Amino acid sequence: MKLWGGRFRGKTDELVERFNASLPFDRRLYREDIEGSVAHARMLGKQGILSEKDAESIIRGLYGILSDIEGGRLVIEGDSEDIHSFIEAELTKRIGEAGKRLHTGRSRNDQVALDMKLCTREELDRMKEELAELIGVLTELMERHRESYMPGFTHLQKAQPTTLAHHLGAYREMFRRDRSRLSDCRNRLNESPLGAGAFAGTSYPLDREMTASELGFDRASENSMDSVSDRDYLLEYLFDLSLIAMHLSRLSEELILWNSNEYRFLRLSDAYSTGSSIMPQKKNPDIAELIRGKCGRVYGDLFALLTVMKGLPLAYNKDMQEDKEAAFDAMDTVRDSVRLMSGMLKTIEWDTERMRESAKRGFSNATDVADYLVGKGIPFRTAHGIVGELVLYCEGKGCSLDELSLPEFKAICPEIEDDIYGEISLESCVKKRRTKGAPGAL
């Protein structure tokens, strides 16, 4: 069914039909399309634009279509151009002429803008729930590993000792910020475009605030031209999803490193690993690698829509049909990635002894030796040089700083006493760092 055929006499080219159609991907908007149409019909009846009888018939018919789609009795297929055409054609088939009155005072431009906003809002709320679950998993792990000591890194080199709780807490902060950004995005998108028409409103006495309220929006949008041409909310959501994907990718990278034979800080569950077709000993972190890899795909979805929008004059242009596939792909990809990360973290076995031993190696307590010398009255820059000499000596001997004997310490710095061993133990190094946000403050 076409909603625009009256002006045309010739037959549309078959390739044009396929190229123009969006039903194969916008079919997932059936619920939002019906929800918006119900609100529109109810408002038309209240305003006297439609008779109450027609409005009630339309609403019953729409709910019947929704029930049949969700019950598997009606399949969304055929030669309809889009989901809007499909539902209107099905409605007309069921209730007759009244179905043709549903589109009064409405354009597909404000209709599709509404459907995408409703879909984005629902997906956004679902993503917030998924992130809350992931944050909960990280919080539980932090509670369990407050005293699981490990090396912290800068430049992928051991830097200072920390705890697994502190390390995972950094990711918790990232995902907390992600949730906050989603809330901001939701606040901005929550204006209803319904009633904007093609771009210049309509001569019918629509009550736009009524439909906005019924659909859960804070208000109706202010400018009808902007209402149908705005995709800022979708771009903002895709940017938020890109940041989430980036944070997931960073966490995946660390899990992949820590799972390697060189680190062995953790063991991934079989449920989140795969094997090799030729090397029977392999247990590969493929899910973490896929989460890392799919980050680039989500970036691509964002830039695809940015590129579509960058040169469009006001108001609506058919180019905007290209918003859906990229948006749906990013939504599905990041939602699955967050779920998989939550499940993967829940099932990891952490080798805390291996982490502890690693923290003892690599001179991660060198800064604490310098701080100890400062406490003995030595200027920090001088202390820094002394500790450098101690590290060189240890490298030549093949030992850690806390394995040096007191005479060896004194040979390089006479001010060192036997109290140094307590000052540079892993526990002491971590627990002394009690400034806000440091591992000892957890």
* Residues 20-49: tens digit of each pLDDT: 778 998 999 999 999 999 999 999 999 999
Output the pLDDT for position 12: 66
pLDDT band at 17 (very low <50, low <70, confident <90, very high): confident
Check if the beta carbon of residue 180 is closer than 8 Å to that of residue 135: no
Which tokens go with 291? Answer: 């989460």
On the question of pLDDT at 6 being above 60, the answer is: no
pLDDT band at 136 (very low <50, low <70, confident <90, very high): very high
Q: Is 85 tagged catalytic? A: no
On the question of pLDDT at 124 being above 80, the answer is: yes
Residue bearing the bigger pLDDT, 27 or 278: 27
On the question of pLDDT at 410 being above 80, the answer is: yes
Catalytic residue, chosen from 213, 276, 337, 400, is 276
Output the pLDDT for position 2: 56
Lowest-confidence pick of 142-156, 178-192, 288-302, 355-369: 355-369
Lowest-confidence pick of 30-34, 149-153, 358-362, 397-401: 358-362
Which tokens go with 403? Answer: 């394995």
pLDDT band at 16 (very low <50, low <70, confident <90, very high): confident
SS (H, E, C) the chain: CCCCHHHCCCCCCHHHHHHHCCHHHHHHHHHHHHHHHHHHHHHHHHCCCCCHHHHHHHHHHHHHHHHHHHCCCCCCCCCCCCHHHHHHHHHHHHHHHHHHHCCCCCCHHHHHHHHHHHHHHHHHHHHHHHHHHHHHHHHHHHHHCCCCEEEEEECCEEEEEEEHHHHHHHHHHHHHHHHHHHHHHHHHHCEECCCCCCCCCCCCCCCHHHHHHHCCCCEECCCHHHHHHCCHHHHHHHHHHHHHHHHHHHHHHHHHHHHCCCCCCEECCHHHCECCCCCCCCCECHHHHHHHHHHHHHHHHHHHHHHHHCCCCCCCCHHHHHHHHHHHHHHHHHHHHHHHHHHHHHHCEECHHHHHHHHHCCCCCHHHHHHHHHHCCCCHHHHHHHHHHHHHHHHHHCCCHHHCCHHHHHHHCCCCCCCHHHHCCHHHHHHCCCCCCCHHHC
pLDDT band at 4 (very low <50, low <70, confident <90, very high): very low
* Residues 228-252: tens digit of each pLDDT: 999 999 999 999 999 999 999 999 9
pLDDT band at 3 (very low <50, low <70, confident <90, very high): low
Output the pLDDT for position 11: 66
pLDDT band at 9 (very low <50, low <70, confident <90, very high): low
CA distances from 207 to 137, 203, 330, 387 (A): 46, 12, 34, 75
Output the pLDDT for position 123: 98
This prediction's pTM: 0.91
Q: Pairing state of beta strands 219-220 and 191-192?
A: parallel
Q: Is 145 tagged catalytic? A: no
Output the pLDDT for position 185: 98
pLDDT band at 7 (very low <50, low <70, confident <90, very high): low
Mean pLDDT confidence for 243-271:
96
On the question of pLDDT at 312 being above 80, the answer is: yes
For 350, counting Cβ atoms within 10 Å of its Cβ (0-12 exposed, 13-18 middle, 19+ buried), the class is middle
The overall average pLDDT reported for the chain is 94
Task: Check the CA dihedral 143-148-149-152 and report its sign.
Answer: negative
pLDDT band at 314 (very low <50, low <70, confident <90, very high): very high
Mean pLDDT confidence for 197-205:
97
Output the pLDDT for position 273: 85
Catalytic residue, chosen from 155, 203, 277, 405, is 155
